[in-house]
Structure 1
Amino acid sequence: MAAEPRGAAAHERDGGGAITDALSLFASRLSRRRFGDDELRVLEAALSSGGDVAAMLATRSEARRLLRERSTEAFAAAAAEEAGARLSVADFFARAFALAGDVESCLATRYEALLLREAKYSDDPHLHVSHDEWLTFAQDSLDNGFYAIASKAFANALVHNHSSTLDSTNPILKKSKINDIRGLQNLAKSLSGQRSVQAQSAEYMKRKAPSISEKCNLQSEKPKLPGNMMFRLGIKTRNTQKLLCSRKRNLEDV
């Protein structure tokens, strides 16, 4: 069997990162628009290769960069194709991002796929998006800190409230479950607003940092203030997670 061709991108550098030999096979297959289970196995093998932890982390980081770059190209190329082809591409990259540990890109891709199915296959019994799917996606988004998307997904779960999960002969139980979802949606909205304020504050401090550094005549190129800001944001994030876990436990006890 002939050896798998390796693209020129296998050794090129982009922003200081290089596609390693372990990823060159995967990159070659992506360049030829091969998006299947075999390619995912190649990626998994590449991510598990490496002589030490540092090498594996570097490979994982480069895999994320590669996937983001190639997914943009793939979605652009699939834009003119039928919805089924676009869903296939989205499913592949969602799983690939999950393997690479890129939670944000994975959730974003899953969300786009759900919206596409919602728009194109609402009457298809096999492809329409169910209440359970929206609820699972909403909870995943909430757990990982993507509160704005979680809020929208909870709203969609409420719209699709005729699935077996909520189709109960007990109206009190059904109302209780709906209230639970609304409670989580409100929590996501609240956390989204808090995060927005924190993000604006962090951006402001980034802009102020250079002038503060000059006034204090600091020798280091990294101002201390943004680091302190990130520390405080980290504490707030941890407290937010505790609040979320507590809220979920309370909802489960209801």
Structure 2
Amino acid sequence: MSNGEITISEQISLFRSLIQAKRFDDGTLRILESLLITRDIKSLLHVQRSLQHFMRHQSISVLRQLNALPVHRKLLILEFFVQAFAIISDLESCLALRYEAFVLRDVNSAVDVRLSVCYGEWIAFAEQAMDNRFYAIARKACEKALACFETNDILKTKDADALSEHMEAIRKVKKLKDLATVKASSQSVQAQTVEYLKRKITEHDEGSTLVVKKKQHSASFLFRNGIKKHNMRKLQELQRQPARA
């Protein structure tokens, strides 16, 4: 093992120990970034997969323990994992935890208005989710964006320009939501189609096996029956021949 490989191994070990020690800060993120610098593609993908598996497991464990913490601490931890998943190119986990953070802010905004998630944040998130084909998450974000307008007094304004601007924004969100719904439904149908085809292929293979076995059984039976008939004819011929002295 080369010194470079030992260094990488030590860095990974250090990063893991910091996560397990709950050191969710910029220093830990910098170490994570260093693990992915100047590496060949094969090694990079291997390190990414290893870190993705580890971080997913750790994030689930950490999220289960968040309830006892103050809201601001929960948000800092969620933001740490969002950035960590972005660094290791786990976009699904990144977006999922970003959504969790937005929901947490939204739920607690009644107590602290500074935590409110504005329309712009929701729609930007929805567009990002759409771009990465996470349609179900995008649809939920659109619903949250629309909810922002329901509590926005500007829709009651007599300012025609402001009202027109907001109505256009609502139209845009609804259009994006409809597209996300269709895409999510299409994704589901495609999954069902793939599963159906797999099942039919399996049934076909099993059916073919049965047919082959049946054919093999029939051929074997005919072969054995032919031998029996051949032997019977030989026996009858021998019986008809006169006995020799």
Q: After TM superposition, is the score higher than 0.5?
A: yes
Of 128, 137, 146, 1:149 maps to: 137
Q: CA deviation at 1:49?
A: 5.1
Q: CA deviation at 1:205?
A: 3.6
- 1:96-135 Cα offsets, whole Å, 9 max, x none, are 0011100100010011111111111245343211111111
Choose 1 or 2 for highest CA Rg: 2
Structure 2 residue 72 is the aligned partner of structure 1 residue 80: no
- Structure 2 residue aligned with 1:23: 12
- 1:132-190 Cα offsets, whole Å, 9 max, x none, are 111111111111111122111112112213499xx975033332222111111111111
Report the RMSD for the aligned CA atoms in angstroms: 2.5
In structure 2, distance between residues paired with 1:113 and 1:163:
25
Paired residue type of 1:93: F
TM-score when normalising by structure 2: 0.72
| Structure 1 residue runs without a partner (length 5+) | 1-18, 218-254
In structure 2, distance between residues paired with 1:202 and 1:129:
38
Structure 2 residue 162 is the aligned partner of structure 1 residue 174: no
- The 3-state SS of whatever aligns with 2:115 is coil
TM-score when normalising by structure 1: 0.70
Is the contact made by 1:23 and 1:46 (CA closer than 8 Å) also made in structure 2? Answer: yes
Paired residue type of 1:73: S
Q: CA deviation at 1:215?
A: 5.2
Is the contact made by 1:20 and 1:59 (CA closer than 8 Å) also made in structure 2? Answer: no
Q: Which has the higher helix share?
A: 2
Structure 2 residue 189 is the aligned partner of structure 1 residue 200: no
Is the contact made by 1:131 and 1:163 (CA closer than 8 Å) also made in structure 2? Answer: no
**What percentage of aligned pairs have identical amino acids?**
35
Is the contact made by 1:130 and 1:163 (CA closer than 8 Å) also made in structure 2? Answer: no
Of 23, 29, 32, 1:43 maps to: 32
Is the contact made by 1:90 and 1:109 (CA closer than 8 Å) also made in structure 2? Answer: yes
Change (3 A) 1:137 1:215: same
Change (3 A) 1:187 1:49: same
- The 3-state SS of whatever aligns with 2:68 is coil
Paired residue type of 1:189: T
Q: Superposition pairs for residues 50-65 of structure 1, below 5 Å?
A: 50=39, 52-65=40-53
In structure 1, distance between residues paired with 2:142 and 2:133:
14
In structure 2, distance between residues paired with 1:172 and 1:89:
39
In structure 2, distance between residues paired with 1:163 and 1:99:
39
Report the number of matched residues: 197
